Structure 1
Amino acid sequence: MWSNSVVRRGALATWDVVCWTLGVAFVIGLRYSFNINEVQWESVLRYLVLSCVLLVVIGVATKFYRGRFLVGSFDEALGLALHFLAVAAITVVTAPVLNDLLPRSLPVLAPPMALVAAAAGRWFYRAMRDRGHESRHSGRALLIYGAGDAGRQVLSLVRADDSLGLRPVGFLDDNPGKRHLRIHGIPVVGSGASLVEAADSVDASAVLIAVPRAPGELVDRVQRQATKAGLEVLVLPRLGELSNGEVKRNDIRRVEISDVLGRHQVATDLSAIAGYLSGKRVLITGAGGSIGSELARQVHRFGPSSMTLLDRDESALHAVQLAIYGHGLLDSPETVLADIREKDSLRAIFADVRPQIVFHAAALKHLPMLERFPAEGWKTNVLGTLNLLQLAADFDVERFVNISTDKAADATSVLGSTKRLAEQLTAWHAETTGAPFMSVRFGNVLGSRGSMLHTFNAQIAGGGPITVTHPDVTRYFMTIPEACELVVQAGAMGDGGAVMVLEMGEPVRILDVAKRMISLSGPRASTSSSVVCVRARSYMRSSSPRRRPPRLPVTR
């Protein structure tokens, strides 16, 4: 038994032969009204046989009839044109020698006619295939917000994967030029402003935001509109998180609070970043943490000659190695188990690795815990940083980036005080060595270990209530990938001793965050969870200090 693929490819070759035959018949009928002599009929037959043999032989040799292109795709259309052009060129060149009685206009006019017929057949097949997909597809009716490349990829993915349980029924796009556009049979039914009306018109039950660069404001607006209309909202990750810029099944997910509060767009100078990381030996401390692990993933993209991941948590090292290298064997030199408090251990690592770039992300950061055990914060955040800076100077490290916190500005807590001391030590070593040793500050990072989001999620899952210290407390927010992108960029442009302060957007009330997280958790959480205010701790501020753009060093 022949497989379906063999039958399908054979049918394509047969169709092209039929179209070439029809093209020849059309030209003879139109040009000569079939009024040619017997000898000319014989030459026409020889030409037709030669053309058909060439079609099949060249198609098989170039894999055109062996599944090289998706049938009906634009790539196949171009391949079809080149395929027919090659056959036409050979027959035109050989006709005077092999077939001198052949009507001269036939090998010139027949191929274009055949190409039109062959292409029309393929486009008809594609239209029927898409219509068949649409009629067979079951699941929730889906609106796709964004009729660009990502939206087209989502359409193809959803149609090909029935397990997603989604059925595309329309596009939304804010570009007026796409108002009457149809993509593979699916129309653009409105703009984002008309989301509710468009959903009613096509009876949609979900909307997917297929805009990888969507700012938080857009996600928030769509989420609010969708909630009023009873629609579920799905999103794609940020563009940098998509594998090779392609949308895959696991990329489609529900909206999270980080999508609403994060997604600040970063104009990253890739050439500058690649210049200082590519081919370099990089050491990342605290590589098992949420910031360190994402930083390692981003640095790995720029092709360092080696990247050493240092942490005192072996399970965290296992997780980050698995995420970056695809295995968690922990038997290769890129993972190092050590504590930055132990200078002798660090010296052995520096002597072995000889790092040229150091990203220092290791720290103790939980405010209440450090208030109870300030000596531990001193040992890790201050003495541990000092150990690294001294060794970086001893081993001629080219660039040192100390990751700090906005709590170091006008410090009112042990965390802020110890991180401010680490910044001052970094600046002092920059001055004494003349090397670009710098610090980078940012505020609350959404989704980092021990962050407010984890606490709120756990409280919502437990039925509430969510606890906040004061209804007017505000904070700046940024997602982990965004923060790490800016850390890498700051390392490329920062001066020695500078403290780079990352632009975090606009401050957000913690109370608003709590309420949004409850609404994003579904109607059950909305009815069972509440927000209560508890006594604020003495070392906590009601708002984060104001920030300047990342390009401005604010202290030395």
Structure 2
Amino acid sequence: MTAHSRGLLGEKYLRKFPVGRFLYFIDVLLWMIAIVLAALLRYEFAVDQISWSIYAGFFVGAAALQLVFGLVLNLYRKGMRFRAGGFEDTVGVFLATAAVGSVLWIVSLIFGGTWGISRGVMLIATPGALMMMLGVRFLARILVSRARQPGPDSEPALILGGGYVGSNLIRWMMSDPASPYRPVGVIDDDPNLARRNVHGVQVVGTFADIEEAARRTGATVLIVAIGAADAALLRRVQDAAKRGRLSVKVMPPIGQVVARGVQGGDLRDLSIEDLLGRQPVETDVSEIASYLMDKRVLVTGAGGSIGSQLCTEIAKYGPAELIMLDRDETGLQQALISVHGNGLLDTNAVVLADIREADTLEAIFRARRPEVVFHAAALKHLPMLEQYPDEAWKSNVLGTLHVLQAAEAVGVETFINISTDKAANPTSALGHSKRVAEKITAWFGHTTGRNYLSVRFGNVIGSRGSMLPTFIRLIAEDKPLTVTHPDATRYFMTIPEACQLVLQAGGIGRSGEVLILDMGEPVSILEVAQRMIAMSGKDIEIVFTGLRDGEKLHEELVGAGESEDRPFHPLISHTSVDTLAPDHLDKESFMRRLGTTPHNTKESSR
């Protein structure tokens, strides 16, 4: 049997042990010892001068009073356990002991002359009993804590952060024999914690000492227990851990720790999203709920990464009806599972339709009468659309026009078109098609006077077909990572963050505007590839392929001549684009901008 297994058996035994009853009998025994010692001290060990029968009555009284006050103060409740803290128990023991001692001292004060006993015995016995009771509890907690500590089979860990999150993590580890990790040191830059202990674990240095601390303590894992660890800090952590040959684990957000404490499944591996992401975005729930609650909401492209997450977020705000539309039946099934918890598809919550079919769309809109529309359906792969620009025209331009026309026909109040940073100073078929979509959305906004607007942002981490899932698969298959250019950078945002800001934009956007989501600082694609390879522990080659047709070295969020006013939200800029009336749409002009014509695209030559 391993030490870990013995620890678990010991924990199981401790759970069944009647701690409350045991503590009561110990406290009664300590009262007897305290009274006897106090009497001996008071009478200077003149045993023949002590009225032992009277003090025996005091002992019985102490036993009865201790039970009464102990039950009142929950010192002996059924099912209680020794806890790692003990402040509440300490206060309870103090109050109970003081109450018992006070009552017995008053009795001795009133009847001492009659009974021939000293009034000072209880003044000596009470603090003596208190110190012994607290000492027994302290010793018991030490023994129980040792029994509950992780066994030698657990992995030695350094804890980065000795504050609230770190101390809770250490407390959990030191009291759970099933913990896979054993804290062997704390890393913290706070000078007030230098050379101190956090729940018995020594602070062994600052961030700069991680490598040396790992060597000295034998740690194999570094656990980040900092409530506000941003991407920049986590990148530094990864670099330091790599030098110290440590794996990295991260804790959940501090709000989760405060709400329910540390749990065994909370620790997870450091992910590339952690290294690219930012602090959680603060959204105004009231602004979002005001235009979604009790409204019929339709999402196009609901089977895609952004569309399905939008549906999940929208469902939280109590829409009267959520209509999920897509031409991808499998994507719709996954969205349905996320929103309704089943994928049966026998519901009118999902609509199988193609935005390229204007008549079908209008019929759906007239039948379902949506009041709010999120238009997320689009073709998005830049190199594919460079080969087949006609498809960009059909889906991103005409498809958007069809959705806008259907929305106008039924009086949709709010229309949010999901755009991309490729639309800022466009150089590709994707960028030009999304730019035209922004312009016709603005035209409908100005024409109808309703909130028809576009929201523009960059790469979304983990979206289907995006860079990160592609890199993950290539690494899993031990294939080289392809990077277009060593200096290429991109903006990144997590799917939930992007969707929250899109919903926020719908609450603050004005008719005809383009809202631009702040993506933070652009990130080097090469650095992402290198960090993902480092996290995998494999030796993967990076191959540079050169920039593809229409691709930029550095993306832009704001186009030439566009403003960056932020009147309502610190992460959302408001700007405007030229409007484009539907009857001015010109496919030949669109193709000429791309250096091609409808007659020489690869699609028409197939």
Are 2:149 and 2:173, in contact at CA under 8 Å, matched by a contact in 1?
A: no
- Whether the 8 Å contact between 2:356 and 2:394 is mirrored in structure 1 is yes
TM norm structure 1: 0.81
- The alpha-carbon distance between structure 1 residues 173 and 331, as it changes in their structure 2 partners (threshold 3 A), is farther
Conservation of the 8 A alpha-carbon contact between 2:31 and 2:59:
no
Per the alignment, residue 204 of structure 1 pairs with 219
Q: Which moved more, 1:535-544 or 1:344-353?
A: 344-353
Please tell me whether the aligned partners of residues 289 and 449 of structure 1 are also in contact (alpha carbons under 8 angstroms): yes
How far apart are 1:511 and its partner, in Å? 2.5
C-alpha distance after superposition, 1:408-437 (max 9, x if no partner): 112222211221222222222222333333
Counterpart selection for 1:550 from 565, 568, 571 = 571
- Superposed displacement of residue 12, structure 1: 2.3
In 1, Cα distance between the equivalents of 2:263 and 2:15?
A: 28
Q: How does 1:39-438 map to 2 (within 5 A)?
A: 42=57, 45-46=60-61, 48-49=63-64, 51-52=66-67, 55=70, 59=74, 64-67=77-80, 71-74=82-85, 77-78=87-88, 81=91, 120-134=135-149, 136-156=151-171, 158=173, 165-236=180-251, 247-277=262-292, 281-302=296-317, 304=319, 306-331=321-346, 334-343=349-358, 346=361, 350=365, 355-438=370-453
Give 1:530's aligned residue. 541
The equivalent of 1:453 in structure 2 is 468
Per-residue deviation, 1:51: 4.2
1:439 to 425, 440, 454: 454
**Secondary structure in structure 1 of the residue aligned to 2:573:** coil
**1:60-112 deviation line (CA, Å, top 9, x unaligned):** 9xx94235xx63154x743774698699889999x999xx9799999999998
The worse-fitting range, judged by mean Cα deviation, of 390-399 and 183-192 is 390-399
Instruction: Identify unmatched segments of 5+ residues in structure 2.
Output: 1-11, 44-49, 113-117, 559-563, 565-569, 578-606
The one-character-per-residue Cα deviations of 1:5-64 (angstroms, maximum 9, x if unpaired) are 6742x232330353256357647865995967957854762563254256458859xx94
Pick aligned residue for 2:20 from 9, 12, 25: 12
* Cα distance in 1 for residues equivalent to 2:206 and 2:180: 24
The 8 Å contact of residues 35 and 59 in structure 2, kept in 1 or not, is answered as no
* Cα gap change, 1:365 to 1:43, in 2 (>3 Å): same
Per the alignment, residue 541 of structure 1 pairs with 552
Q: Deviations over 1:440-476 (max 9, x none)?
A: 1111222211112223333333433322222222222
**Quick one: distance in 2 between partners of 1:129 and 1:439?**
61
Partner of 1:466: 481
Q: Which range moved further: 150-159 or 436-445?
A: 150-159
State which drifts further: 371-380 or 204-213: 371-380
Determine the C-alpha separation between the residues in 1 that align with 2:377 and 2:37: 82
The Cα shift of 1:553 comes to: 0.8
Q: Report if the CA contact (8 A) 2:38-2:124 is conserved.
A: no
- Distance in 2 of aligned mates of 1:532 and 1:449: 22
SS in structure 2 opposite 1:536? coil
Match for 1:505 among 506, 520, 526? 520
For residue 479 of structure 1, what is the amino acid of its counterpart?
Answer: T
Q: Which has the larger radius of gyration?
A: 2
CA distance in 2, matches of 1:394, 1:111: 86
Contact 1:172 / 1:190 at 8 angstroms: preserved in 2?
Answer: yes
Is the 2:93–2:130 Cα contact (8 Å) retained in structure 1?
no
**For the Cα contact (< 8 Å) 1:21–1:114, is it kept in 2?**
no
When structure 1 is superposed on structure 2, of 14-23 and 49-58 the one drifting more is 49-58
What is the letter of the counterpart of residue 176 of structure 1? Answer: P
| Aligned equivalents of 1:343, 1:107: Cα separation in 2 | 94
**Aligned-pair distance for 1:226?**
1.6
Partner SS state of residue 553, structure 1:
strand
Deviates more, 1:196-205 or 1:123-132: 123-132
Residue identity opposite 1:360 in structure 2:
H
**Structure 1, 186-195 or 405-414: larger mean CA deviation:** 186-195
TM-score, normalised via structure 2 length: 0.75
Query: Counterpart of 1:223 in structure 2: which amino acid?
Result: Q
Distance change in 2, residues 1:13/1:116 (3 Å): farther
- Give yes or no for contact 2:93–2:133 (8 Å, CA) kept in 1: no
Contact 1:478 1:504 in 2 (8 A): yes
Q: Distance in 1 between matches of 2:357 and 2:421?
A: 27
Deviation at 1:305, TM superposition (A): 5.4
The structural deviation recorded for 1:328 is 3.6
Bigger mean CA deviation after superposition, 438-447 or 391-400:
391-400
What is the distance in 1 between the residues matched to 2:123 and 2:399? 80
Task: Give unmatched runs, 5+ long, in structure 1.
Answer: none
CA distance in 2, matches of 1:162, 1:470: 50
Q: Distance in 2 between matches of 1:85 and 1:375?
A: 83
Moved more, 154-163 or 127-136: 154-163
CA gap of 1:305–1:250, structure 2 versus 1, over 3 A, is farther
Q: Following the alignment from structure 1 to structure 2, what is the Cα–Cα distance between the partners of residues 87 and 281? A: 65
Amino acid at match of 1:458: R
- Is the CA contact (8 Å cut-off) linking 1:261 and 1:477 kept in structure 2? yes
Equivalent residue of 2:572, what SS? coil
Q: Deviations over 1:127-146 (max 9, x none)?
A: 33333344624233211212
Q: 1:210 to 1:50 in 2, by over 3 A?
A: closer
- Matched AA of 1:400: F
CA contact (8 A) 2:302 2:311 kept: yes
The equivalent residue for 1:483 is: 498
